[in-house]
Amino acid sequence: MSNYPVVQVFLYALLTALATSLGALPFAFIPTLSPRLAAFANATAAGLMLGASFGLVVEGTRHGPWATLVGVAIGVFFMLVTQRIIRDRGHEGEFLGARGAGAQRMLLVIVIMTVHSFAEGAAVGVSFGGGGTLAATITLAVAIHNIPEGLAVSAVMRPQGASILSCMWWSFLSSVPQPLAAIPAFIFVSRASGALPYGLGFAAGAMVFMVLVELLPEAYERAVARSVAVVTSLTLIGMLLTQHFL
């Protein structure tokens, strides 16, 4: 077992979940979020997640390059199947006072964010197997990334009449799987060291999938492609430099 206590892993992952609720705060001051600002938020999250994924892959290859590659493939496949299952199922009922398309959009965003949270929580858990520096870097990346996720949840709830507190609560709930997934992921890689590169690769693959399929396409739809690319690149470089100096 690693020297890191389970409660420390849980608290790190809990902080990332709490950060999600901060995404609702801008709606206390502005009625709606401009498409351009939402795009830049997604671009920032994309750069951070790509940088975090790079750190996971680098650490994984130190323990087993082929195992890390297999883990990446499994992570991408897992997210692909999960996304398809969610989008193939509609919702015609009522959700938080909204009906029809509004209810379906809210539920879909919350469910997608919740499923994503399992992969992010696993990333925090397995990162402790690579040492305290990697764990701190991944936790920071996921926490910052979660703020735009909370923003995304609130952006579809607020126009439907949801209160700020409701937006914060549902944003937090969408990330509750993170501390829940972090513990078993940490225990598993701690007791089975051979599984560490698979776990690191899985988390990296899931993150890259989110960036390429969810974050960047939406950002490119809402803002000029060049601006999105610049923001993503700068945040990616910033995350890589953070990992290097930590």
- The 10s digit of each residue's pLDDT in 149-205 is 777 677 666 656 678 888 888 888 878 888 888 888 777 766 666 777 887 788 788
**179 in a structural domain:** yes
Q: At what angle do helices 132-157 and 6-20 cross, to 10 degrees?
A: 30
Three-class secondary structure of residue 29 per DSSP: coil
**167 in a structural domain:** yes
Query: Using CA atoms, how far apart are residues 225 and 220, in angstroms rounded to an integer?
Result: 5
Strands 98-99 and 94-95 turn out to be antiparallel
**38 in a structural domain:** yes
**1 in a structural domain:** no
72 close to 57: Cβ distance less than 8 angstroms? yes
Total number of domains in the chain: 1
**117 in a structural domain:** yes
User: What value does the mean pLDDT take over residues 204-209?
Assistant: 82
Query: Using CA atoms, how far apart are residues 146 and 167, in angstroms rounded to an integer?
Result: 14
Q: For residue 99, give the H/E element and its range.
A: strand 98-99
Q: Measuring CA to CA, how many Å separate 143 from each of 14, 22, 68? A: 9, 10, 24
Residue 230: is its pLDDT beyond 90? yes
Query: Using CA atoms, how far apart are residues 78 and 71, in angstroms rounded to an integer?
Result: 10
**197 in a structural domain:** yes
User: What value does the mean pLDDT take over residues 222-227?
Assistant: 88
**Greater pLDDT, 70 or 176:** 70
Query: Using CA atoms, how far apart are residues 41 and 59, in angstroms rounded to an integer?
Result: 27
**79 in a structural domain:** yes
By residue range, what is the domain housing residue 99? 6-245
**163 in a structural domain:** yes
